[in-house]
């Protein structure tokens, strides 16, 4: 599994952080999406589905 984030697209709304059931995601000092602990990801893809800015993609490998 791989989480790909696109900082250029992210506006820091925090929707992905709220809906992530495993606290994998967070916002960095600039308010952009950052992956805190990829190993906890269960590939539910809630973040990808809810991101209004197409800034996060989760791929099952």
Partner 1 sequence: MEKLIEKYYRPRLPHIWCPGCGNGIVTSSIVKAIDKLGLDQDKTVIVSGIGCSSRASGYLDFDTVHSLHGRALPVATGIKLADPELNVIVITGDGDGTAIGGNHFIHTARRNINLTVILFNNNIYGMTGGQFSPLTPTASKATTAPYGTLERAFDIAELAKAAGATYVARGTAFQSKMLVDVIAEGISHDGFSLVEAVTQCPIYFGRQNKKGDASAMLKTQRDNAVTVEAAKKMTPEQLEGKFTIGVLHKSEAPEYTKQYQGVIDRAQKGAK
How many residues of this chain bind partner 1 (CB under 8 A)?
20
9 binding partner 1? (CB under 8 A): yes
47: left (phi over 0), alpha (psi -120 to 50) or beta: alpha
Sign of CA dihedral 41, 44, 49, 54: positive
Binding partner 1 (rule: CB under 8 A), the pick from 3, 12, 34, 36 is 12
- Which residues 39-58 are close enough to bind partner 1 by CB under 8 A? 48-55, 57
Residues that bind partner 1 (CB under 8 A): 4, 8-9, 11-15, 18-19, 48-55, 57, 59
């Amino acid at each position: 599994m791989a989480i790909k984030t696109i900082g250029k697209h992210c506006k820091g709304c925090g929707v992905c952080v709220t809906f992530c059931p495993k606290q994998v995601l967070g916002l960095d000092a600039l308010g952009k999406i950052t992956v805190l602990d990829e190993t906890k990801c269960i590939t539910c893809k809630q973040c990808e589905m809810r991101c209004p800015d197409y800034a996060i993609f989760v791929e099952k490998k």
